[in-house]
Chains A and B, each alone.
Chain A
Amino acid sequence: MRSLRYCLLLSLLSLAACSQVQPWEMGYLAREEMAFEVDSLESALNDHIFFSKEASSGGSSTTGGGCGCN
């Protein structure tokens, strides 16, 4: 019972650590170092290999639905 209480307290405390990115802070998200891919050329090549092997494209990023209709 006590450990459960501690868990609850800890989870609530960690909730307080969450903070929303404010509209005026969105620039941080647009920075290069925030991108999922380190090297855009390499990821484009990887995409191309994937597309050639699997005969499907898209779905690896926000653009394209992976319908394979290209």
Chain B
Amino acid sequence: MFPKIRSTLTTLFSLSLAVASPALFAVEEGEQVPDFDLPSIYAGQDNISLASLQGKTLYVDFWASWCAPCLVSLPQYNDLYLKYRDQGLEIIAINVDNPIEDGLDFLEETPLDFPIPADPEGDAAELFGVIGMPSSYLIAPDGEVKLVHMGFRSGDIELIETEIQKVLAEN
């Protein structure tokens, strides 16, 4: 009887710890990008999945309309996209707004040229183990994560551009 109770309690305790702890499996530099498949935020558009973007240098950004630095970063990412898309750069900015209309309101005022997947339940954010907003990931064509960037301060865009140039030059 006693060992049984003890093992149940241990399981319960570890379960509660696992639930309470922050993202334990955050994607880090040097790791492979997790596979995702998300609908576009715009109705009637194709799903956006990792498979459909394979072989390209990919920049994945997580954003929401309530996150002020995200809104500062997006137009700057758009400039980067227009500058480097001919060299094989793809940018996707995953929106985690719930409801997605909050994100759409922003996009109406600030149109962006790259695909915007919608992740209102945070499935992809959980998969990537996002530990702060905004978080972004630079992924080489072979699927290796080259840069994990959190937050967005002035001067960050230059740093990100340099990293993108490096990955584009290597491939």
Binding site for B on A (CB under 8 A): 5, 8-9, 12-13, 15-16, 18-20, 22-28, 30
Contacts and interface: CB of A to CB of B under 8 A. Distances in A.
Contact of B64 (A8, A12, A24): A24
B122 interface: yes
A14 B98 CA distance: 27
Contact of B20 (A18, A24, A25, A26): A18
A23 B133 contact: yes
B3 interface: no
B106 interface: no
Interface in B101-118: 102
Contacts of A8: 9
Given A12-B12, A19-B19, 9 more contacts: A16-B19, A20-B20, A22-B125, A23-B131, A23-B135, A24-B64, A24-B130, A25-B122, A26-B67
Nearest to A12: B12
B15 A22 contact: no
